[in-house]
Amino acid sequence: MKVHANQIDTSPKWRSLIRDFKRLIAISLIIAVCAGLMYAFTFRGGLSTDNGDWGTFGDFMGGVLNPIFGFAGLMALLLTISMQSEELNNSTRELRNSAEALKEQGESLKKQNFENTFFQLIKLHNDIVNDIDLVGLNNKQTRGRDCFRVFYERLRAVYNNKWDMGISERDKIRISFERVYHKSEGDLGHYFRNLYSLLRFVDERGKSKEDKQFYARIIRSQLSVYETGMLFYSGLYGKGKDKFKPLAEQHALFDNLDSSILLNGDNHRDIYAAGAFSNREAGTTNSSSSSVNAACDTAQ
């Protein structure tokens, strides 16, 4: 709130001080008049032409009035100093309030810029999804999010093929995903890169853990069931393992994931640390992720 200098003149405190000071001046003048009248009645006579008489009168009036006017002058000086001090304090408060208002305005602008960029990335994500199209048998065309059902059915079909007895479950998933990804790399590569950029933006630019969780929920709400399935297994392939997977665990990207969509149900949940499935664990499981994956590899 702004504090103006003219508020000093109208505040009850200063009105009272100025009123008292005016009373002091009036009393001083009354005393001066009374002293003059007392002198006149005590030493009756007309106006003297003798310098000595005037000197005596001046000494009398000075002795009576000098202390009074000196005291009044001191009070006036103290009042002026006090008013200047109050005005300085008001100016300091005004500057402090202005600085706080500018800080709040800056924070609000940062948040506005963040959200503008965030929702632009969300829009870009949806545009990328809507631009995907596949042409199947009999020139049947599939567009948008329905394409991820096709991608996931291809992934499941490759995964369910017969494999050599010695191959690990992790390698089986990785090879299956590689085959599907390379067949549609133009569409899937663009999709995965943009979603990674979106998660990374929230991770690096989000102000607090609560803010990051809020924006991560918005990202999750954009994903269909089959998109979530494809993203889940992208964490075992190429750069997804080193870049996307830690962010998914950090921000609970697979919170409320239905295990029935996974290629081997709950048995594949151990691919990710617990933070990928719960906001309560998110942000605290980066160090445990490697140990979980190591345990899975050992078991396989």
Q: What is the model's pLDDT at position 93? A: 83
Q: 16-30, 152-166, 189-203: which has the minimum mean pLDDT?
A: 16-30
The 10s digit of each residue's pLDDT in 68-105 is 777 777 777 777 787 788 788 888 888 888 878 777 77
The 10s digit of each residue's pLDDT in 111-136 is 889 999 999 999 999 999 999 999 87
- Going by pLDDT thresholds of 50, 70 and 90, the confidence category of residue 2 is very low
Higher pLDDT, 121 or 285: 121
Q: 99-108, 136-145, 244-253: which has the minimum mean pLDDT?
A: 99-108
Query: Is the pTM of the predicted complex or chain greater than 0.75?
Result: no
Please name the residue that has the structure tokens 């590689």: 178
